[in-house]
Amino acid sequence: MRGKTILKKTVSTIITLLVVSFLVFLSFSVIPGDPAVSQLGTNATPERVEALREEMGLNRPFFLRFGEWLLSFAGGDMGISYSYKIPVKEMILDKLPITFTMTVMAFILVVIISVPVGIYAAKHQGGRTDRAVITINQVFMAVPPFFAGILITVLFGVVLKLFTPGGYVSYTKNFWGFVGYLFFPALAIALPKAAMTVKLLRSSLLEQAELDYTRTAYSRGNTTRDVLYRHVLQNAMIPVITFLGMALADIFTGSIIIEQVFNIPGLGRILLTSISNRDYPVVMAIIVCLAFAVIVINLLVDVIYRFADPRIRNED
């Protein structure tokens, strides 16, 4: 990418983050619920609540508060959690590795499951395996990740005893135990996405195999295998890359729910508790981080996309 493109992307990233944080901030001032009340409990007298609100600066005008938050956030200060009384930055840095590892594992699972299965199904189109794949796909696509998570817990945790349900292992204590525990939630997130990727890759391969250039490839003496891997696959991957990019963003944000099912103390967990506690320094920071991650993923997809499809490269 050229300098101009980089500048354009940076500006649009900043604008997106501004809009996202503003909307979250706004929704927090609109929805019912009061951080002061949630700290003091519902039995607190109105005077005490009012005093705390004053102390927390909640009574000042909306734009002033947003501006202040924005300035300190831009300066790297994410504030202090209302309910935990520790810096938000510390909390996020502590939890991010968990969610990040799970996202990466789930994504890797999606790729290593769907690419070989998609290729195999397309190669044996109409065969018994292909039909089985289509049916299984249909099922996996219909199952939401949290339900897949429950099924996996029952099957691998309760019946096969491959892991202890709810027995999360901290990455600081035992890294491989941690990875081993995260494998199952990652699988729960990965299965529906893998099913969709298989379906997309299979149809994309079959579509590409009908195109004229494959006939040209055969006319030069290529084997079926070489036509597939040297000609068709790269073309067929173009739509798949776009989809995988969206899936990656989706996996990252979707991990919030699966963390509940598997009792994982990741970003999703503190996001949910912070929302119900109206602990918005934490919520704001997490949401801006999520938004930033999604933008970065999209940028990466853009770069990879250009690499795969030369027709896009000359456009800017």
Partner 1 sequence: MEEKEIILKVQDLNIEFHDHLIPETVVYDFNLTLKAGEIVGLVGESGSGKSMSALAVAGLLRRHDMKKTGQILFDGVDLLNCDRKVLRKFQGKEIGMVFQEPMTSLNPVKKIGWQVEESLRIHTQLNKEERYRRVIEALENVELQDPERIVRQYPHELSGGMRQRVMIAAAMICKPRLLIADEPTTALDVTIQAQIVKLLKRLNREEGTAVLFISHDLSLVKRLCSRILVMKSGYVVESGETQQIFYHPGDAYTKKLIEAIPAYEKR
Which residues contact partner 1 by CB under 8 A?
211-213, 215-223, 226, 231, 234-235, 238, 308-311, 314
Q: Which is nearer to partner 1, 42 or 314 (CB)?
A: 314
Structure tokens at 225: 């295998």
DSSP string, 179-243: HHHHHHHHHHHHHHHHHHHHHHHHHHHHHHHTSHHHHHHHHTT--HHHIIIIIIHHHHHHHHHHH
Q: Which is nearer to partner 1, 129 or 234 (CB)?
A: 234
How far is it, in rounded angstroms, from Cα 244 to Cα 113? 13
Q: How far is the CB of 2 from partner 1 (least distance, A)?
A: 18
DSSP bridge pairs for 80: 87
Write the CB contacts of 66 (distance below 8 Å, at least 6 apart in sequence).
Answer: 22, 25
Q: Which is nearer to partner 1, 232 or 291 (CB)?
A: 232
Q: How far is the CB of 112 from partner 1 (least distance, A)?
A: 23
CB 272 within 8 A of CB 256: yes
Q: Which is nearer to partner 1, 20 or 232 (CB)?
A: 232
Nearest Cα neighbor of 17 from 68, 74, 79, 90 is 74
Q: Which is nearer to partner 1, 7 or 211 (CB)?
A: 211
Q: How far is the CB of 126 from partner 1 (least distance, A)?
A: 10
Q: How far is the CB of 310 from partner 1 (least distance, A)?
A: 4
Q: How far is the CB of 220 from partner 1 (least distance, A)?
A: 4
How far is it, in rounded angstroms, from Cα 27 to Cα 20? 11
